[in-house]
Amino acid sequence: MKKELPIANHSPVLQKTAELCQTILEQPAYLRMRDDIMAFLQNEEARAQYEDLCTLQENLHRKQDEGAVISDEEMEAFEQAEALFLASPQAVPFIEAQQSMHEIESKIMEYVRRTFELGRVPQESDFEGGSCGEGCGCHG
């Protein structure tokens, strides 16, 4: 039986989370990212090129993981598919929007994780130097 975590269902925590989400949605940068993603999603040709590129990349990774040699022809096919995709006007803005959203998500998760580790709201200095935080066992 799964034990319910009171803090996860505690209304002030959920309320602040909803406020954070609303703040993100109101940022002009988010609106630009959303527009870039929507423009990409509406371009069927660019989407198909992206799917083909992802499939080729997955196949190459699988071969590499299995220890198989990737042929020059396979690399050339991947590079051609990549060049074709990147030539689409929606490709680069789409990739940049995805990367930006991932960075925002990672930063938020890093703040939450550090809050749990430190038992307080982290300061900017808590993120400097690549340390994983006190209590991790790596500090001498």
Compute the distance between CA of residue 70 and CA of residue 93 in angstroms, rounded to an integer.
30
For helices 91-118 and 72-86, what crossing angle results, to 10°? Answer: 100
Name the percent of the chain in helix, strand, coil, to the closest 5: 75, 0, 25
Q: Which residue has the tokens 């590079």?
A: 79
**How much is the pLDDT for 131?**
47
**How much is the pLDDT for 87?**
95
Q: What is the pTM for the complete model shown?
A: 0.73
- The answer to whether 24 touches 84, Cβ cutoff 8 Å, is no
H and E: helices and strands count for the chain: 5, 0
**How much is the pLDDT for 117?**
94
Q: What are phi and psi of 131, to 5 degrees?
A: -70, 150
Compute the distance between CA of residue 35 and CA of residue 94 in angstroms, rounded to an integer.
9
Residue numbers in the chain where pLDDT is lower than 70: 1-10, 129-140
**How much is the pLDDT for 14?**
87
